[in-house]
Amino acid sequence: MGYGTGPQVAQRLEQNNIIVNYQATPDEEGFTASGALRMGVSEMTRFGFGQKEFAQLAELMADCILRNRDVSQDVGTPAGGAPGDGLLLLWSGI
C-alpha cells in the first residue's frame, strides 16, 4: 500500500462497508507509519468464507483501493445493520 497510507485506505474501505485494521509492518517505525492492512481471515473462514468469497472480496477491495470505485452497494448493509455488517451478505451467499 505504501508508507503511512494504512489509516486512509482502511477508512476508505470502511466507508464502503469493508472493515479492516491498519497495521505497521516490522520495517516501519511505529503504528502511525502503518502501511499495511489486517483482516480477520480466521474468523471469516469460520463464518463460511471460502475461495470464491475471498476472490470476490479481493476484487471489491481492488476496485475501492486501486480504482477509487464506490463498492458499498456491491458489499451492502443488511437492514438495520451497521456499516461493516455488509460482509455478512457475502458470507451467507445473499
pLDDT, one tens digit per residue, over 38-59 is 888 888 888 788 898 899 899 9
pLDDT value at residue 94: 36
Query: Which pLDDT does position 44 carry in this prediction?
Result: 83
User: What is the structure's pLDDT at 92?
Assistant: 41
- DSSP three-state, residue 53: helix
Low-confidence ranges of the chain (pLDDT < 50): 79, 88-94
Burial environment of residue 73 by CB neighbours within 10 A (0 to 12, 13 to 18, 19 or more): exposed
Note if the pTM is more than 0.85.
no
